Amino acid sequence: MSDINRFFWRCAGVHQETLEKYPEEHSKYTAIGATIFFTGLFASLSGGYAMYFVFSGGAFDWLLAIVFGIIWGLAIFNMDRYIVLSINKSKSGLMQLLQALPRILLAILIGLVISRPLELKIFEKEIRENLRVRFLADQRAKIDTLNSTFNKKYANEVSLLKAITVERDSLEASIKNDRTKLNYEIFGNKTTETSGVMGYGPYAKMKEEELKKKEGYLDTLRNKITTQQNAIRQKQKFEGILDQKVLSNASLDSAVNVAGFADRNSALGNLRYDANGKVNESNANAVFFIGVAFCLPRVSSGNRQALGRKGSL
């Protein structure tokens, strides 16, 4: 027999000298050992990848991720191997099935644990885009909340500024309208409010005097608005609102790069839904079947080992 087969037999925990006497069982136990080995291997990879985000940015983050990945893989390997060896093959079929249930449940659990970090890697581009959108939305929501809180705290100052601004806009519109009427009066355009006599007469002089008064008051309003805006801006600076800015593309990329495992796991879950809240069946099915792909081989292996014929190794 090849060294690979013998290695997988060791993984399956069988007595090799006895197994060599039953050639018909070689493939079965090679498959079981391979399943146990690759379960540990994938657990090591996924655990190391997950822990890389936990230690990301720290000293020796990659080394810590490798060490933890190896420890996690060995733990899963030994747990899986123990369950396989602990099944009593001398029991009846029903008893073997009952013995197999904990292994099947554990196989599903381990499959999900292993598949999740690998799903994070498979959907990395989609996760990064989802995180960008979420971080940008969170920043805008934070700014909106700060502005809303500020407006409530300084309601009088904000209301005064709005009132002056409304009055200024109304006065500007009135001055523009009066300026048009004055031009009509000077150039002799007949309307319900103009004489129709061309020239700079008494009525035109009166209109111009009214315009100068309105323009003088408009300047006063503008000065008040500037003063009020500066006062509010100082209060905004004191409250830290001016320090809050919408994240740029570079800032978003930096935030996504340092996002932890929890943020990425949450983003992976969000891929199941579109922006309108409806389920995205394509993404949901992809995530689901990747998880199933890791669970099925393990459950199948557990069934083969638990429900095999009596007397097998």
Per-residue pLDDT tens over the stretch 45-63: 878 877 877 777 667 778 8
Of 149-153, 225-229, 243-247, the least confident: 243-247
What whole-number distance in Å separates Cα of residue 272 and Cα of residue 267?
Answer: 9
Contacts of 142 (CB under 8 A, 6+ apart): 244
- Higher-pLDDT residue of 248 and 143 is 143
- Residue 309 pLDDT > 60, yes or no? no
Q: How confident is the model at residue 222 (pLDDT cuts 50, 70, 90)?
A: very high
Q: Determine the residue type at 136.
A: L
Model pLDDT, residue 311? 43
Of 16-20, 84-88, 264-268, the least confident: 84-88
Q: Are the C-beta atoms of residues 117 and 245 closer than 8 Å to each other?
A: no
Distance of CA 144 to the CA centre of its chain: 20
* Joined tokens for residue 90: 């001398």
What whole-number distance in Å separates Cα of residue 47 and Cα of residue 65?
Answer: 8
Q: Are the C-beta atoms of residues 135 and 258 closer than 8 Å to each other?
A: no
Contacts of 229 (CB under 8 A, 6+ apart): 161
Mean pLDDT of 190-210: 71
How many CA within 13 A on the CB side of residue 51?
Answer: 21
Q: Are the C-beta atoms of residues 158 and 232 closer than 8 Å to each other?
A: yes
